Amino acid sequence: MGKVLMKGNEAIGEAAIRAGCLNYFAYPITPQSEVAEYLTHRLPEEGGVFLQGESEVAVSYMIFGAAAAGARVFTTSSSPGISLMSEGISYIASAQCPAVFVNIMRGGPGLGGILPSQADYLQATKGIGHGDFRMLVMAPASVQEAVEMTMAAFPLAEKYRNPVMILGDGLIGQMMEPVDFPEHLKTPPSNKNAWATNGMDTRQSEARNLVKSLYLDPEQLNQHNLMLKAKYEQMEAEEVKAEAYNVDKDYKILIVSYGTMSRVCKTAIMQLKQEGLEIGLIRPQTLFPFPGEMVLQAATKDSCQAVVSIEMSMGQLVEDVERYVKGQRPVSWFGKCGGEVPTPEEIIDHIKAML
Amino acid sequence: MEIKLSGIILIVGNYGSGKTEVAINLAIGSRTSGKDVQIADLDLVNPYFRTREVKDLFSDLSINIVLPPDQYLNADLPILSPAVAGMLRNPQEVTLIDVGGDDAGAIVLASLADALTDKNYRMLQVVNPLRPFNDSVEGCLAMRSKIETASKMQVNGLIGNANLINETNIEMIYSGHDFLKDVSQASSLPLELITVPAHLMPEIDTARVSCPILPIKRQLVPPWEKPVPVAIKP
């Protein structure tokens, strides 16, 4: 199959099908409703199921139930809908069920607006719901990357038995780009027999699987949480991904930026290069685990005088950047968060003002 | 071959087939050839990449554009401005209506039936065979019939819009053209025109194409790209 022109939302739906996920529960919200629209046509062709929940809270428990039974399952929503799902996500993380959540972010807080934003960075990366847990969070910068990350999300969710989130801004969902669906991304079969309540037919052992998040004994709960912590540490050791751009040059400023925002930064970097000014960029592809070591290394290069976090949020990514740069270079924030995307010109002006 | 479209032109088609970019470029092309042009954004489905994004350009070109009031531009509400019906009652030389995608987007046309009574109009279906659900003749015919049912109007022409945006090449344009000829034959609808990105125009063998060509200067771009410049004559 050659390339096709797809909206990010459609491509995410198709990618999930190609990853062997035929179970989709969701509630429509702009700017991600096209996922549901697309899967309404496509899932029946594949023998799959799309059920619209009566709310996002209900959807999160449909996901929990399906995941506990061993089904590959996912949902998509946008900021306010994800907040409603956060309770269910916390249960799913504690019960160690694999599931994929896609957040196509819009401007907030509250009802906010429907235009692109990255306002949910801290919510996604610092444990989205109550309790003490983490999701693995990936942030695509193109429709093609949204496809690849969605396809990778399912085996990662099963490897860690943990929720995985694809965090895209509204542009990722709404823009159209040419994509292909590479064969090499075919997803391996699920490891569900080891943990799912899917009946004894296919099991090798007599042991019963139990899915639960209730631990009344404090010592048991402490042990459970230590075990979860070890999984997050393993993610930090094994799953970090980031793109380094123009870092072989002697840049004076390092930009840290993710998602479509990083593409505006690249346009600015190209234009500044023509003026003889080199700027480096680290683009986190995983937001949790955060590519802190890469940021630190790039920030402490001899030529680098300062680091700026450029975001469609009011200073969220910058907290992680500061955490790793540890005062070795000045770290500042630049961004907008109301649906307007900073333009290449605004970034260029800001960079020049920093020098 | 020259594009001979005039009067009321309704642009319909599958979601994401490129209706808005086609409508914008038809408006620019008609205005550049000296015609009076007006255009209405009737897309009640799509939240991003809409006609409204060329508001300033169209004002410079003296193209009359009908949009919902400013304060509702990003309201995510289906707003149908009463000015659209007025525009259809008093059409200019070229009156373009950019309709929303699929049958869902075309439903709104039924509410304009009164204003369209006794008017000659062309309803043109845009097809990009490089989009999902557009890649088979049957798929295109099915969408035609859904749009006709929803709008209570007849599609009476086709626009070929084969493209992969920045990755479009000449081969895609020729094979898209040939595909549209098949759709045209199966549906008995004339192929009104095909689109070609303006920068590829010098490479096109016009003898290979059986219909007029609309060069596309892309206006709906993501924030890291610039729209293709359009010359504004005083």
Cross-strand partners of B157: B124
Q: Do A234 and A251 sit in the same domain of this protein? A: no
Phi-psi region of B62 (alpha: psi -120 to 50; beta: other; left: phi over 0): left
Q: Do A129 and A170 sit in the same domain of this protein? A: yes
Instruction: Report the C-alpha gap between A258 and A180 in whole angstroms.
Output: 22
Residues of A with CB below 8 A from B169's CB?
A: none
The reply to whether residue B223 touches residue A6, judged by beta carbons under 8 angstroms, is no
Query: With contact defined as beta carbons under 8 Å apart, do A53 and A26 qualify?
Result: yes
What is the rounded (10 degree) CA torsion for B130, B32, B44, B168? Answer: 10
- Strands (DSSP E) contained in B134-226 are 157-160, 191-197, 213-216
Q: Which of A58, A134, A176 is nearest to A286 (CA)?
A: A134
The reply to whether residue B222 touches residue A175, judged by beta carbons under 8 angstroms, is yes
Confidence check on the interface: ipTM exceeds 0.95, yes or no:
no
Starting at the edge strand found earlier in the chain, the sheet holding B213-216 runs B64-66, B37-42, B94-99, B7-13, B121-127, B157-160, B191-197, B213-216
Nearest CA distance, B156 vs chain A (angstrom): 26
Each residue of B180-192: pLDDT tens digit? 999 999 999 999 9
B104 confidence band (pLDDT: 50, 70, 90): confident
Query: With contact defined as beta carbons under 8 Å apart, do A314 and A335 qualify?
Result: yes
> Which residue, chain included where needed, has tokens 């939240």?
B47
Instruction: Report the C-alpha gap between B127 and B124 in whole angstroms.
Output: 10
> Which residue, chain included where needed, has tokens 């990003």?
B74
Closest residue in B to A265 (Cα) is B224
Q: Does B165 touch chain A (CB under 8 A)?
A: yes
| pLDDT beyond 70 at B161 | yes
Query: With contact defined as beta carbons under 8 Å apart, do A138 and A149 qualify?
Result: yes
| Residue in B16, B76, B135 nearest the CB of A7 | B16
Q: Does B135 touch chain A (CB under 8 A)?
A: yes
The reply to whether residue A339 touches residue B135, judged by beta carbons under 8 angstroms, is no
The reply to whether residue A266 touches residue B48, judged by beta carbons under 8 angstroms, is no
Q: Do A210 and A321 sit in the same domain of this protein? A: no
Q: Do A342 and A297 sit in the same domain of this protein? A: yes
pLDDT (mean) for B40-64: 84
- Of A205, A220, A238, the last residue of a domain is A238
Give the pLDDT of residue A224: 98
Query: With contact defined as beta carbons under 8 Å apart, do A143 and A177 qualify?
Result: yes
> Which residue, chain included where needed, has tokens 């009164």?
B114
3-state helix, strand, coil in chain B (%, to 5): 40, 20, 40
Instruction: Report the C-alpha gap between B23 and B17 in whole angstroms.
Output: 12
CB atoms closer than 10 angstroms to residue B100? 24
DSSP states along A229-285? HHHHHHHHHH---EEEESTTS--SEEEE--HHHHHHHHHHHHHHHHTT--EEEEEES
Domain range spanning residue A246?
Answer: 242-354
B45 confidence band (pLDDT: 50, 70, 90): low
Give the pLDDT of residue A1: 64
Q: Do A282 and A167 sit in the same domain of this protein? A: no
Q: Do A161 and A227 sit in the same domain of this protein? A: yes
Total CB pairs under 8 A between chain A and B: 74
What is the rounded (10 degree) CA torsion for A188, A140, A93, A119? Answer: -170
Amino acid present at A339:
G
Each residue of B30-39: pLDDT tens digit? 999 999 999 9
Q: Do A146 and A293 sit in the same domain of this protein? A: no
Q: Do A315 and A290 sit in the same domain of this protein? A: yes
Give the pLDDT of residue A99: 98
Q: Do A213 and A71 sit in the same domain of this protein? A: yes
CATH of the domain at A198: 3.40.50.970
Q: Does B167 touch chain A (CB under 8 A)?
A: yes
- Of A238, A258, A289, the last residue of a domain is A238
Query: With contact defined as beta carbons under 8 Å apart, do A153 and A164 qualify?
Result: yes
Each residue of A233-244: pLDDT tens digit? 999 999 999 999
Q: Does B234 touch chain A (CB under 8 A)?
A: no
CA distances from B81 to A3, A43, A113, B42 (A): 38, 36, 21, 9
Question: In a 10 Å sphere around its CB, with 0-12 CB exposed, 13-18 middle and 19+ buried, how is residue A332 labelled?
Answer: middle
Question: Which of A5, A18, A258 to mutate to probe the B interface, most B CBs <10 Å?
Answer: A5
Residues of B with CB below 8 A from A37's CB?
A: 15
Over its length of 355 residues, how does chain A's per-residue pLDDT go in tens digits? 689 999 999 999 999 999 999 999 999 999 999 999 999 999 999 999 999 999 999 999 999 999 999 999 999 999 999 999 999 999 999 999 999 999 999 999 999 999 999 999 999 999 999 999 999 999 999 999 999 999 999 999 999 999 999 999 999 999 999 999 977 656 778 888 889 998 888 777 788 899 999 999 999 999 999 999 999 999 999 999 999 999 999 999 999 999 999 999 999 999 999 999 999 999 999 999 999 999 999 999 999 999 999 999 999 999 999 999 999 999 999 999 888 899 999 999 999 999 9
Give the pLDDT of residue A43: 96
CA distances from A276 to A272, A348, B166 (A): 6, 13, 27
Question: Which of B21, B22, B48, B195 to mutate to probe the A interface, most A CBs <10 Å?
Answer: B48
Q: Does A311 touch chain B (CB under 8 A)?
A: no
- 3-class DSSP state of A115: coil
Instruction: Report the C-alpha gap between A184 and A169 in whole angstroms.
Output: 27
Q: Do A179 and A145 sit in the same domain of this protein? A: yes
Nearest CA distance, A131 vs chain B (angstrom): 35
Residues of A with CB below 8 A from B166's CB?
A: 178
Give the pLDDT of residue B119: 87
Nearest CA distance, B123 vs chain A (angstrom): 24
Helices A292-299 and A317-325 cross at an angle (nearest 10°) of: 60
Structural domains of chain B, with CATH: 7-216 (3.40.50.300)
The reply to whether residue A5 touches residue B47, judged by beta carbons under 8 angstroms, is no
What is the rounded (10 degree) CA torsion for A345, A278, A141, A89? Answer: -100
Amino acid present at B57:
L
- The answer to whether the Cα torsion of A108, A111, A113, A114 is positive or negative is positive
Number of domains in chain A: 2
CB atoms closer than 10 angstroms to residue B91? 18
- Of A206, A238, A270, the last residue of a domain is A238
| pLDDT beyond 60 at B234 | no
Q: Do A234 and A266 sit in the same domain of this protein? A: no
> A323 is written with which tokens?
């955490």
Q: Do A42 and A93 sit in the same domain of this protein? A: yes
Instruction: Report the C-alpha gap between B95 and B82 in whole angstroms.
Output: 15
